[in-house]
Structure 1
Amino acid sequence: MKAARLLSLLLVLQTRQRVTTAELAERLEVSVRTILRDVEALSTAGVPVYAERGRHGGIVLLPGARLNASHLEPAEMDSLSLAGLDGVQRKQLGITAAHDMAIRKIAARRAAGATADTSLAELVIVDNSGWLAADAGELNIAELALTLRSRPRLRIEYRSSGAKHATSRVVDPYGLASKSGRWYLVADDDHVAKLFNLDRLEHYAALSEPVTTRPDHDLRSVWDELKQRTEAPGRVDITVRLRESRVDLARRILGSRLTGTAPGDDGWRLMTVSYPDVESVRQLLQFGNHIEVIAPESARQRVGELATDLADRHKMTPA
């Protein structure tokens, strides 16, 4: 969310307090879905604004709540425009102090309104890290973000997944993205959009020439492109039998790859998992003896080969 749009939204609400999402979308030249995302982000940041459903509903700023944009510093406005980040991510970006000051200003203004309602900031906590997430890598994300502000090309030393050594390449960055507790550099590599996991980015250097990204593309559009590419349904449908007790776990682990489910035998459930290739059935080994691959035969055979190899490695040696 851009700081200018966030402040424009608040200023409109300050004058009218209640505005329909359609009118806000038209005024700010964005979609209704974007307006709703902005409102959710502002609410999470402690701004008393919410979406009201119904025939006469719309976006509402609580009476007495006023945000004077002239009292916010540029860094504070930046922190509010990134309201979806949690405390750890704000610290990694180096905007914790600015964010805390902005929230204090909002709290002071809220107190002046003498409202007795509990703020959403006291009722909602945002933690974007995955469960059992490891500590962040050594890369200084705040320094990288500061480097990207001047929009240079970057020479990076990056180790691809599974590779032993990093390779050097020149990329054209759009910016940074945080997804499920991990940070990524979003950049064009030889005019192709790619995600570079910062945990495997060993070194970077800003070059003298400016970034040359593809025309009519920005960070948000490229991120959407990469998400669609990553989360698109696979080309191979795998039919499995899974114990009912592991269905919730499967939904959590497999996510959008789980494309179908139906009742099975007593205590079991039939499920369809979509993968880009048969070799990806390796992921299903983590379900152990709670799963059986039914079809296609190539997938069933591959799981059998992997399970046999695993069993051979764990055979007990004679005393």
Structure 2
Amino acid sequence: MQMNRLFEIVYILLNKKTTTAKELSQRFEVSVRTIYRDIDKLSSAGIPIYASQGKGGGISLLDDYILNKSVLSEDEQNEILFALQSLTVTQNPETGKVLSKLSSLFNKSNTHWVEVDLSPWGSDKNKTSAFTVLKNAILNHQMIEFTYYNSYGEKSRRTVEPIKLIFKINAWYLQGFCLTKNEYRTFKISRMFNIGALQEFFLDRTSDGLFVDDKKPRSQKWISVQLKFSPKGAYRVFDAFDENEIIRNSDGSFTVTTSLPENKWLVEYLLSFGTDIEILSPQSIRELIHDKLEEIILKYKK
């Protein structure tokens, strides 16, 4: 809250030039003494702010002070505005306000040169509200509680120390320490319901056991698979696999050699490619696909 107030004071002075401690204290609903303490902190941080006495006096910035030249380079300004512009699609009202103010301070008019679409979460008001709850809980080291449905449709109530929000492969996830399971877990946001922050706070844990920053979780078994895609499936091949895993064949088809997790998800994932894919190996996965297709066919036989 204090950092927001300090930022607001600088913003006011850049636009209004001069104000008084009384006006600022009324605006922020704090004492005049608190405002003067804020002025001292800003001055100690290198902001050329001063207070003058007498008629026409007040709190001011040096006339030649420009925030963008004194604090941040041109590239740093653009990076900040890009990050904020990316977050505006979550419809978090705080982000829009900060973007507007920083655009004014940096004298930047073109802040809409990029748009990041996080649909369907970004377009859902309930999920946007959940994003704000999760964000605040992470920043405040506040425990959260929610109902969760895993990939098998099993329902459970979880208490979690939230650590990080990540966006990956068209979906949002929360990473945190699950007190219910007593280990680090990753939760898909779309499966989280009735999210609420608790009046309990937590300290940072050691990094031991924290998420491995690669695509292969320690506890998950991975297998090597070889896949063949028809020319029509090219658009998904390059979306789903690394370039060095793909070989283009002379007939226009593609052969992919990669590692995938050996679980229930694998068969469903491969089936999502429809007739554009053929599993070349291993034989065990070919058999699983065959059995699943027979099961599907049986449902449509009269």
TM-score normalised over the length of structure 2 = 0.60
CA distance in 1 between partners of 2:169 and 2:282 (Å): 32
Which ranges in structure 1 are unaligned for 5 or more consecutive residues?
4-64, 71-78, 112-118
Residue correspondences, number = 226
Q: Where do 1:185-204 residues align within 5 Å?
A: 185-190=174-179, 192-204=183-195
| Alignment partner, residue 289 of structure 2 | 303
Q: Where do 1:50-89 residues align within 5 Å?
A: 67=68, 82-83=83-84, 85-89=86-90
| Alignment partner, residue 269 of structure 1 | 254
1:136 to 124, 140, 154: 124
Q: Which has the larger radius of gyration?
A: 2
Q: Check the 8 A contact 1:236/1:278 in 2, yes or no.
A: no
Letter of the aligned partner of 2:89 in structure 1?
A: V
Q: Where do 1:1-319 residues align within 5 Å?
A: 67=68, 82-83=83-84, 85-89=86-90, 91-92=91-92, 94-107=94-107, 121=111, 124-129=113-118, 135-136=123-124, 138-139=126-127, 140=129, 141-165=131-155, 167-179=156-168, 182-190=171-179, 192-215=183-206, 225=211, 227-229=213-215, 235-252=222-239, 254-256=240-242, 260-264=245-249, 266-277=251-262, 279=264, 280-315=266-301, 317=302
Change (3 A) 1:229 1:246: closer
Cα deviation for residue 278 of structure 1 reads 6.2
Cα deviation for residue 199 of structure 1 reads 2.2
RMSD: 3.9
Change (3 A) 1:97 1:151: same
CA distance in 2 between partners of 1:133 and 1:152 (Å): 23
Q: SS at 1:95's partner residue?
A: helix
1:27-83 CA deviation, whole Å, 9 max, x = no partner? xxxxxxxxxxxxxxxxxxxxxxxxxxxxxxxxxxxxxx961679xxxxxxxx75943
Q: SS at 2:193's partner residue?
A: strand
Q: SS at 1:174's partner residue?
A: strand
Change (3 A) 1:198 1:263: closer
TM-score normalised over the length of structure 1 = 0.57
Change (3 A) 1:307 1:216: closer
CA distance in 2 between partners of 1:294 and 1:158 (Å): 36
Cα deviation for residue 127 of structure 1 reads 0.9
